[in-house]
Amino acid sequence: MHGPSPDTLHPFNGEPHTVFLKNVISRPTIEVGDFTYYNDENHAAEFENRNVRYHFDFVGDRLKIGKFCALATGTTFIMNGANHAMTGFSTYPFNIFAEEWRADFDPATIFDHLRGDTIVEHDVWFGTNSTVMPGVTICSGAIVGANTVVASDVPPYAIVVGNPGQVVRLRFDETRIDRLLEIAWWHWPIETITQNLRAIRGADLDALELAAAHPETRLDGTAKAG
């Protein structure tokens, strides 16, 4: 056995409060990697409509979430469609409400200031009611604290908290982080990940590097069956 299939809708004992997120995504502008899950007691399956906000096709931005991410209840992504023009005296969106208010509206006052795609890499943990602003990149291994508003990029294996979110510390020293990013265990076949869970959970970096260098060998040193 090698754990649940990433195509399982409700991987936590069949309970509807937790979904492997990619299985409830229908929009082509949202990408989610294997084993990333969202937990919500009441609305887990409604993530793309409730938690990805102001995401309009005509804007063209994408939300990309990698593998093995954990999203707690209320994790929300604000997309570029939330932006209003800030080049004049008023930020009120007159143009969306009446034909006569669209006259002389210059879309460049909004679109020239958009921040692009929102990207979450791999193995990122989001605390309850965390919010990610448009165009942010959150790198692999990061932790986003509960109620944090992420308005700028987050480095690998950083812990970010507050509003606006600030990096309070790195989870490991930079040398270990570089080694972990080189290993990139989240890209391994699930069989290899399963065989090396002891090292992943136990922070045994040497064992992970050995497994990365010799994927044909089990963690205990015995050859995998062919």
Instruction: Write phi, then psi, for 179 (nearest 5 degrees).
Output: -65, -40
The catalytically annotated residue of 17, 55, 84, 122 is 84
Both tokens of residue 72?
A: 């707690």
Task: Specify the residue for token string 């990029």.
Answer: 153
Contact 80, 54 (CB under 8 A): yes
Task: Specify the residue for token string 């294997």.
Answer: 34
Give which of 156, 158, 150 is closest to 178, Cα–Cα: 156
Give dist(CA 156, CA 140) in Å, integer: 5
Instruction: Write phi, then psi, for 131 (nearest 5 degrees).
Output: -130, 135
Helix, strand, coil % (nearest 5) of the chain?
Answer: 25, 20, 55
Instruction: Write phi, then psi, for 189 (nearest 5 degrees).
Output: -55, 150
Say whether 214 is catalytic: no
**Residues annotated as part of the active site:** 84
